[in-house]
């Protein structure tokens, strides 16, 4: 007989743990007020969804707008430890919605997990008249316990999204997350998971990326990578300031299919001559930038600007580790 495995629940705060002094209010609340253990106590159905038991750990207690690299590294280390435990089926992370897509992509890049790591969130605080957090938490635990699930996932409003495509597209509605024209990977219906076309997503390709967690330097040594936007009337001044400050990389949120204003282009060319690595993503919410073979700078391979920033930062860390200069990562 198969023995049910544990689900690990890591708390970081967010709206799902938020409260308001105004009874029933959906806005004007304070995020990250309730512990992850108390969130679990408020959803009795979790006992049935996780027959092997839930293990709760409070990693941080913040509004996700204030997410920091140090918390990312702490999360990655905790996830790696639990995912290596044969008695653990999956991991759920309670998280604010504002930077959830960035945390998801970071964890996917450094963990590449064969087991599911599910980011759970809410658009309404726990004290709302009809909070969405309890159902999202239950759905997330169901997905974390699904044998066919793998990789870093986002579960909200009954939808399952992948780390690469997911983004927050609305500031208020309950189904705020979207995977654009790709669509969700699946749905949680009752107590079961239904994958798109009833076919589970391909598991992550085996790689050595999981070893990156141990090799990552402390966050104050990570490269500085910033995002600039190409827009009508842009001057390039921000690029010049960043270059003077010793930034390591710049991601351009370009218009359309990677087009960059001529003034910004000149500033980026000057930055590149100073050793700044440039990568181009698109401002467009849907579709993917189709990089041209003769493009001035490398494209972000379809990633959004915020995710392209993470990938560029990790690429720079990898380069320094490979050259044996990990002690100098991100140092001017």
- The catalytic residues are 15
The structure tokens 């409260």 sit at 19
- The two structure tokens encoding residue 188: 């949680």
Sequence-ordered alpha helix ranges (H) in the chain: 36-41, 46-49, 69-83, 100-111, 133-144, 212-215, 237-244, 262-273, 305-322
How far apart, in Å, are the Cα atoms of 275 and each of 70, 105, 264? Answer: 26, 26, 17
Q: How long a stretch of residues is the chain?
A: 332
Q: Which of 144, 145, 125, 143 is nearest to 134 (CA)?
A: 125
Q: What angle do CA 150, 154, 157 make, to 5 degrees?
A: 130
Residue 125: φ, ψ to 5°: -70, 165
């Amino acid at each position: 007989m198969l023995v049910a495995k544990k689900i690990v629940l890591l708390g970081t705060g967010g709206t799902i743990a938020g409260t308001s002094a105004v009874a029933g209010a959906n806005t004007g609340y304070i995020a990250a007020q309730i512990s992850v253990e108390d969130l679990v106590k408020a959803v009795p159905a979790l006992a049935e969804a996780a027959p092997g038991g839930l293990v709760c750990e409070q990693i941080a207690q913040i509004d996700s707008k204030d997410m920091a690299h140090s918390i990312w590294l702490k999360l990655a280390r905790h996830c790696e430890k639990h995912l290596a435990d044969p008695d653990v089926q999956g991991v759920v992370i309670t998280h604010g919605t504002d930077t959830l897509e960035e945390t998801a992509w970071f964890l996917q890049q450094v963990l590449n997990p064969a087991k599911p790591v599910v980011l759970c969130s809410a658009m309404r605080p726990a004290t709302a008249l009809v909070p969405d957090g309890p159902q999202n938490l239950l759905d997330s635990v169901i997905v974390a316990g699904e044998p066919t699930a793998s990789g870093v996932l986002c579960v909200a409003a009954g939808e399952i999204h992948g780390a690469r495509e997911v983004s927050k597209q609305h500031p208020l509605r309950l189904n705020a997350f979207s995977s654009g024209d790709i669509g969700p990977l699946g749905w949680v219906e009752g107590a079961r998971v239904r994958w798109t076309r009833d076919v589970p997503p391909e598991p992550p390709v085996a790689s050595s990326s999981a070893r990156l967690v141990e090799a990552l330097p402390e966050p104050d040594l990570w490269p500085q990578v910033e995002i600039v936007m190409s827009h009508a009337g842009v001057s390039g001044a921000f690029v010049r300031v960043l270059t003077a400050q010793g930034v390591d990389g710049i991601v351009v949120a370009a218009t359309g299919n990677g087009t960059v204003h001529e003034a910004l282009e000149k500033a980026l060319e000057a930055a590149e001559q100073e050793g700044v690595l440039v990568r181009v993503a698109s401002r467009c919410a849907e579709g993917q930038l189709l990089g041209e073979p003769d493009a001035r700078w490398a494209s972000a391979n379809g990633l959004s600007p915020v995710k392209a920033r993470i990938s560029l930062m990790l690429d720079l860390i990898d380069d320094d580790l490979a050259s044996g200069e990990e002690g100098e990562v991100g140092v001017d």
